Amino acid sequence: MTAPVLRNSVLPHSAGEESAAGEESATGENTAVENSGEGRNPLIARGVITAKAHGVICGLEAVEQVLKHLDPELRTVETRADGCVVKPGEEIFVATGLATSLLAGERTALNICSHLSGIATATANLVQIAGGVKIYDTRKTLPGIRRFQKYAVTVGGGNNHRHDLADFPMFKENHRAILQKSRPQLAGNPLEEIRWIKSELAREGYSGTISIEVEDEASLRACLEEGIEVILVDNISPSTLAKWIDRARLDQIPVDGSHLEASGGIDGDTLAEHASSGVGRISVGAITHSSKVLDLSMSVELLSEDSGAGDD
């Protein structure tokens, strides 16, 4: 499996732009290694990345980009691919090339791969717990690497929520509070508020997905009645939400669980209960902002001096 989202993303796109591949400059230890081969062929080495824990691998395309940026003649062999489940001691990536380049790129390559693998692993664990309920990420990502992190979520079997604000409008708690303050006639009347939102978007020519955050039963019922595509039920206990859904159905209000999304501090300990509440999707910000990295290591071993970068 290749990862188009990672290809060239770790390289600079313009003069003066810093990149992941170029953030490590020459150091004394690498200079010493380089000088040790003075007057002879360049020192060629093999770099091997090994998993030190169980997990789902992600980010090998970025690893390759980092190392080949430092040594274009470097030969890389993926022993595993993104999405593969690995166990401790399993080799996941092998590269042969200039010893100095492998040493210089080691930390950056490991930082990227261990971080993305941690996200993929955490996502896979949540997907397993959730059963048929879909797991979504959020925009709670690190600036500059959102597309990396969201790619890792898909590798782990999860789904991407909005990539940015332009994907579709989402009216969250703050938006609704400002709207109700600026238009007092909508305050305390969720149904009229939702209808106003829909009409304003239609007036502007928008006809796509609308997402609205709700924290009370009346707002949930209004969104269900108006056919809102993504109803984000935030910080509501699973038992309370289940009661809201049951009452809506008793009142003949159409309920499609695939449009209901639970959110708000959900983790592996509480996920199963939320998944049984009647929602079809659950968003978990922690998978991108708090996932533990997957422990990886890279060994660099010198090959014979007359070996070429293409020799294995």
Write the DSSP string, 178-207: HHHHH-GGGTT-HHHHHHHHHHHHHHTT--
Beta bridge partners of 93: 49
Residues 142 and 278 in one domain: yes
Q: Do residues 49 and 63 lie in contact, with contact meaning Cβ atoms separated by under 8 Å? A: yes
Residues 71 and 144 in one domain: no
- Is 107 among the domain residues? yes
More confident residue, 54 or 27: 54
Domain tally, the chain: 2
Query: Mean of the pLDDT values across residues 34-50?
Result: 77
277 and 134, same domain (yes or no): yes
Are 195 and 99 in the same domain? Answer: no
Q: Which residues of 251-270 are buried (b: 16+ CB within 10 A; e: fewer)?
A: eeeebeeebbbbbbebeeeb
In a domain, 244, yes or no: yes
Annotated active-site residue 183? The verdict is no
Find, among 240, 239, 265, the residue nearest to 138 by Cα: 265
Based on the fold, state whether residues 147 and 285 are members of the same structural domain. yes
Q: Two tokens at 113?
A: 């791969």
Q: Where are the beta strands (DSSP E) in 62-210?
A: 75-77, 85-86, 91-98, 134-136, 170-171
Catalytic residue among 107, 181, 183, 247: 107
User: What percentage of the chain has pLDDT greater than the value 70?
Assistant: 84
Do 262 and 116 fall into the same domain?
Answer: no
> Could you confirm whether 40 is annotated as catalytic?
no
Task: List pLDDT tens digits, range 195-238.
Answer: 999 999 999 999 999 999 999 999 999 999 999 999 999 999 99
Catalytic-residue membership of 234: yes
Q: Is residue 2 assigned to a domain?
A: no
User: CATH number, domain at 60?
Assistant: 3.90.1170.20
Encode pLDDT of 89-115 as tens digits: 999 999 999 999 999 999 999 999 999
User: CA 134, CA 139: separation in Å to the nearest integer?
Assistant: 17
Kindly state the percentage of the chain with pLDDT values over 90. Answer: 79
Given the residues 71, 213, 261, 281, the one annotated as active site:
213
Q: Which of 7, 288, 265, 295 is nearest to 159 (CA)?
A: 288
pLDDT in tens, 131-176: 999 999 999 998 889 999 999 999 999 999 988 888 999 999 999 9
In terms of domains, do 100 and 201 share one?
A: no
DSSP code of residue 258: G
Residue 261 sits in which domain range? 130-289
Instruction: Indicate whether 9 belongs to any domain.
Output: no
The CATH number for 273's domain is 3.20.20.70
Beta bridge mates, 233: 214, 262
H or E stretch covering 299: strand 296-302
What is Dmax (Cα atoms) for the chain?
Answer: 86
| Residue 262 placed within a domain | yes
106 and 202 assigned to the same domain: no
Say if 1 falls within a structural domain: no
Q: Which two tokens stand for residue 128?
A: 């397993």
In a domain, 310, yes or no: no
Q: Give the Cα separation of 163 and 146 in Å (integer).
A: 8
281 with 229: CB under 8 angstroms? no
**Confidence band, pLDDT 50/70/90 cuts, at residue 15:** very low
- Give the closest residue to 57 by CA, choosing from 78, 37, 36, 40: 78
Q: Which of 167, 226, 234, 295 is catalytic?
A: 234
Same domain assignment for residues 157 and 298: no
**Domain shared by 68 and 136, yes or no:** no
> Bridge-partner residues for 48, per DSSP?
94, 299
Provide the residue count of the chain.
312
3-state secondary structure of 128: helix
* Rounded-to-integer distance, Cα 257 and Cα 246, Å: 12
Active-site annotation holder among 52, 134, 139, 140: 140
Same domain assignment for residues 137 and 120 = no
Structure-block tokens of residue 209: 């997905």
304 pLDDT band, cuts 50/70/90, is: low
Residue 154 lies in a domain: yes
Please tell me which residue in 52, 139, 147, 172 is annotated as part of the active site.
172
Regarding whether 261 and 185 lie in a shared domain, the answer is yes
